[in-house]
Amino acid sequence: MKVLNHLEEWLITFLMGGATLIIFLAVGHRYIAGWPIPVVQDWMLSLNFGWAQELCIIMFVWMAKFGAAYGVRTGIHVGVDVLINQMKKPMRGKFIIFGLLAGATFTAIVATLGGLFIWDNGMHYAVFTLLGVPTGTLPQGPTTPDLEWPTWIVYSAVPFGSSLMCFRFLQVMVNFVKSGELPHHDHGHVDGIDEVVIPAEGSQMVIREKIQPEEQDIDQKGQDGQEDKK
């Protein structure tokens, strides 16, 4: 399970970082290509970044689908639970389980319909070709305008991301049945930053009491030194 969690986080991080980098390079290329510098401008115009927008859109779609599954696992999705929190514990648990099952059912339906869609959109042609099965009159399927990738590969984010999201709903439900706890995300906490614990007033008084005797000794020594001078 930890391997799946790490793969999920790495995929989201790669897609987010990669899309951000591509957008930065594409925007920089657009502005630098307009500078009237002979050598630089000619070299910039020779570079083709027409595919950048399409690729970033694809990456953000995949990031959103898998990020939704990550949100279910970590409990960062926004939910209106004011009424449920007012219920007694047995009834509250039943409604929570019902909500998680509803989420799992919905995402399972979306994953199934998405899988059927990409199968008819060209995946069946690619699978039959890979296995050496005659394709007959099966269509090869459309491709994207700029990258010319098969669209069924791009749309695979829907069945894959929804399937993972369905699994996360079931995982949260099983953990809730066992422990009675739901994943909770503290929006005020930042990973990698340790929280500073401010000591209570009682501890400060103890520290002050420990310091005072030393200060009294210093004052006493100063008074003794003045008396010796006299």
For residue 221, what pLDDT is reported?
54
Average pLDDT of adjacent 10-residue blocks, the chain of 230 residues: 89 95 93 87 88 95 94 84 81 91 96 96 92 88 93 96 96 91 68 58 48 51 55
> Which helix (H) or strand (E) element contains residue 135?
none
Domain residue spans of the chain: 2-186
Distances (CA, A) of 217 to 23, 153, 204, 222: 67, 79, 21, 9
- Contact in structure between 39 and 68 (CB atoms under 8 Å): no
- What is the sign, positive or negative, of the torsion defined by CA atoms of 204, 209, 214, 218? positive
DSSP-derived letter for residue 86 is T
Residue 150, helix vs strand vs coil: strand
Distances (CA, A) of 112 to 107, 151, 153, 154, 173: 9, 17, 16, 16, 21
The CA dihedral of 63, 156, 147, 6, to the nearest 10 degrees, is 40
The pTM of the full predicted model, rounded to 2 decimals, is: 0.75
